Structure 1
Amino acid sequence: MIQGFADLKRTTEYFSRHDDIPARKIPWFMVSPIALGTHLGEMTEADSSLYRHSLSYALNHGINFIDTALNYRGMRSERDIGRVLTEMINGSRLKREEVIISTKAGLIPGDIDAKLVPADYLKEVLLHNDIITESDLNIVGHMKHVLEPGYYRFAMNESRKHLNLNTIDIYYIHNPEVSMKVLGPHSFYEKLIHLFACLEEAVNQGMIRFYGLATWGAFLVTPDNPSYISLEKCIRIAERAGGKDHHFKFIQFPFNENKREAARCKNQMVSGIHLTTLEAADELGIHATTSAPFDLGNLINQREASVLLNEVIETEGILSTMAGMKHVENVIANLDSITMYREEVKNVDRYF
């Protein structure tokens, strides 16, 4: 496996070669304001080839943040990223310390290469090998979610193998609100204590560097909603698991013209004060990354993509936004759009 993880020295050097990109600086590394997302697409070699070309182009031209998940495209997305990283790093076209990789687990995945749909993967891999039990499953509609630490230890190692990385920079619990809906707040937060302790142990073992929650609605809804998750409670749990120097440092949620709740809705309570999710994250020392800048394509025909993307990037408190870029043309267009306001946000410092 490739050793190392993103660091401030090497990412700073990376952006010295790509000084037209308005990179953001946090204590551990510098990061591009957009990340290449790998969620959408078919589970085919044709789409994998497109993604690999986009990944290579992006990493060569100023995007040093890649976002994925174990379940994306039947595990193909992680494997495609691993192939590109291995080729570029072994070929001395990229240093491991220059790139930030985030991935996720929590939803039951399938494995297209093993010809296993999620139901079969659950039965033949997870249940058969006693990685989880039926009682560990929290089911809402077609989504099956787990919070058991044993599953995450297994999933983390699978992702590390796919990515060919010894250390994953950011490891998210994927769509935890599914389990929240089933368990309710008391049981959910109790289980989160054990899971955060597992993730802190993974940090200590060098498997991951930071962890967080990648959500869809949990940070956008009001506290009376069954999907709601309190960021302050998560921080207190992280402090129980890892002390004041805990590694729960990132959250992810949708943010676009149609979904601006994170900047408008004061649905989070911190020290008795009502704050928006972005304000609460800032107050609690959490970095906010966002997804779906084009609202899963619904906004593309309404306004120019460059305008939509810049409105997200310019929102105070957003570190980086995940944009799906299966085609090199999308990478080029998005890079062109973010350089338009370079002088305004170049090297913005956000220290916590």
Structure 2
Amino acid sequence: MISGYASFNGTSDYLSKFTWACRESPMFTASPIALGTHLGEMNEEDSVLYREGVEYGLLNGLNFIDTAINYRGMRSERDVGYVLKSLIKRGSIKREEVIVSTKGGIIPGDIEANLVPTDFLQKVLLEGGIIQVSDVNIVDTHRHVLAPDYYRFAIETSQKHLHLETIDIYYIHNPEISMMTLGPALFYTQLEKLFSFFENQVRLGNIKYYGFATWFGFLKDPTEKGYLSIEEVLNIAQRVAGEGHHFKFIQFPLNKHMNDGIQKQNQKASGKWLSVIEAAHELGIYSTTSAPFHLGKAFDEKSDARSMLTEVTSSKGVFSTMVGMKKIEHIKENIEILQGV
């Protein structure tokens, strides 16, 4: 296992070698775009591309990797871990230079064990006694949990995949699924227990910071089912751990078709209605964004990758943008865009 974690000095020193404007926080400094690992097939061909791409990105100025236990049937985490172990062992990068975020909460599958998510839920999680049926919150085909015992299992599994003793940012993945099932009162009650668990994980050195990675939860109107309040979530973190809490990051989609995160004033903070990105800033939370190309649906004759990525990364308050990319040619193109931002 690789010891250590991303540090302010380590990430700043790494990025000082490159020309683009970087994003600073008290915790670490990030490249404006991060290597996203969501898209792709669950096969060796795409794993080879991801391993080549992540290595190229890390050696050429992208010091932020975003993944999740459920991405590509666990292959994405394993691919990232393979590269990290290889590059750090060779001395090509240092652990303190690289920010790694991953996620849990959505029931994953495991392609290597030939288990789709429903089988993984039954054979590993339920029959293994990790969670109970009552812990599973279901909306359509989505299965989500808030049970701390699941996250203990998921964090340990992600640590093994990534070969990391400490995960820099650990997100609860799409918590709006559980919110839709449980409703606010029960959701926030369960969240308080989970945040207590996460703060203990920080003390144990398994994670450094934690947050929410959402799709629509922060973007809905306050009266809509599944709406998540940044202020209420932060209040829970403060009740659990005071001002020294480690809930520091949120993630949400931002692109030309999904721009509510900067346009809609649906989040209350300090008595004012603000946009998601404004409210997060007001409350001391850092915003990372996803899906800058709207999962590939945003391309048309008026919009190309350069203009869309430039617009998102230039948006005030965006700490880093998660860009799904596995081919070296696309990573090169996106790095060239950064040089003009």
TM-score band, normalised by shorter chain: over 0.9
Aligned equivalent of 2:8: 8
Amino acid at match of 2:77: E
Q: Name the structure 1 match of 2:211.
A: 212
**Aligned-partner Cα distance in 2 for 1:300–1:34:** 19
Q: What is the number of equivalent residue pairs in this alignment? A: 340
Aligned runs of 1:115-154 on 2, under 5 Å?
Answer: 115-154=114-153
Q: CA deviation at 1:300?
A: 2.1
State the Cα distance separating 1:241 from its structure 2 match. 1.4
Unmatched runs of 5 consecutive residues or more in structure 1: 342-352
Distance 2:20 2:327 in 1: 20
Tell me the secondary structure at the aligned position of residue 165 of structure 2: coil
Aligned to 1:163: 162
Show the counterpart of 2:76.
Answer: 77
Counterpart of 1:112 in structure 2 is 111
User: What is the distance in 2 between the residues matched to 1:13 and 1:331?
Assistant: 22
Letter in 2 for 1:107: I
Letter in 1 for 2:291: A
Give the secondary-structure state (helix, strand or coil) at the position aligned to 1:110: coil
- Cα deviations by residue, 1:64-123 (Å, 9 ceiling, x for unpaired): 000000000000000000000000000000000000000000000000011111111111
Task: Measure, in 1, the Cα distance between the counterparts of 2:100 and 2:306.
Answer: 24
SS in 2 for 1:102: strand
Distance 1:304 1:137 in 2: 40
CA distance in 2 between counterparts of 1:13 and 1:177 reads 37
| Runs of 4+ more than 4 Å apart | none
Partner of 1:294: 293
Deviations 1:262-304 (A, max 9, x none): 1111101113211111110001000000000001101123411
Match of 1:350 in 2: none
Q: Separation in 2 of the partners of 1:245 and 1:214?
A: 21
Q: CA deviation at 1:40?
A: 0.5
Alpha-carbon distance in structure 1 between the residues aligned to 2:289 and 2:175: 16
Which residue of 2 is the match for residue 331 of structure 1? 331
Matched residue SS, 2:332 = helix
Identical aligned residues as a percent: 53
Q: Deviations over 1:215-248 (max 9, x none)?
A: 0001111001111001100011001111111000
Correspondence for 2:200: 201
Counterpart in the other structure of 1:310: 310
Q: Which residue of 1 aligns with 2:62?
A: 63
CA distance in 2, matches of 1:233, 1:298: 33
Question: Deviation at 1:186?
Answer: 0.4
Structure 1 Cα separation of the partners of residues 317 and 12 of structure 2: 21
Quick one: distance in 2 between partners of 1:125 and 1:83?
24
Q: Distance in 2 between matches of 1:240 and 1:225?
A: 26
* Cα RMSD after superposing both structures: 0.7
CA distance in 1, matches of 2:44, 2:101: 23
Residue equivalent to 1:346: none
Tell me the secondary structure at the aligned position of residue 51 of structure 1: helix
CA distance in 2, matches of 1:242, 1:60: 37
The separation in 2 between residues aligned to 1:50 and 1:212, in whole angstroms, is 29
Output the CA distance in 1 between the equivalents of 2:268 and 2:252. Answer: 18
Query: Aligned residue for 2:322?
Result: 322
Shift of 1:25: 1.0
Q: Which moved more, 1:208-217 or 1:265-274?
A: 265-274
Amino acid corresponding to residue 11 of structure 1 in structure 2 = T
For 1:141, the aligned partner's letter is D
Opposite residue 321 of structure 2, the aligned amino acid is T
Residue type of the alignment partner of 1:104: K
The answer as to 2:177 corresponding to 1:178 is yes
Q: Which amino acid aligns with 1:75?
A: M
Give CA-to-partner distance per residue, 1:162-181, whole Å, 9 cap, x none: 00000000000000000000
2: CA distance, partners of 1:261 / 1:42: 30
**1:21: how far off?**
2.4
> How far 1:202 sits from its partner (Å)?
0.3
Partner of 1:269: 268
Q: Residue 289 of structure 1 aligns to which amino acid in structure 2?
A: T
**Aligned ranges for residues 330-349 of structure 1 at < 5 Å?**
330-341=330-341
Q: Secondary structure at the match of 2:26?
A: coil
Secondary structure at the counterpart of residue 244 of structure 1: helix
1:222 equivalent in alignment to 2:221: yes
CA displacement, residues 158-211 of structure 1 (integer Å, 9 cap, x when unaligned): 000000000000000000000000000000000000001100000010000000
* More RCO (CA 8 Å, sep 6+): 1
Q: Give SS of 1:279's match.
A: helix
Instruction: Please give the alpha-carbon distance, in whole angstroms, between the structure 2 residues aligned to 1:43 and 1:204.
Output: 34
SS in 1 for 2:39: coil
- In 1, the alpha carbon distance for the partners of 2:15 and 2:209 equals 22
Q: Distance in 2 between matches of 1:271 and 1:95?
A: 40
In structure 2, C-alpha distance between the alignment counterparts of 1:268 and 1:276, rounded to whole Å: 6
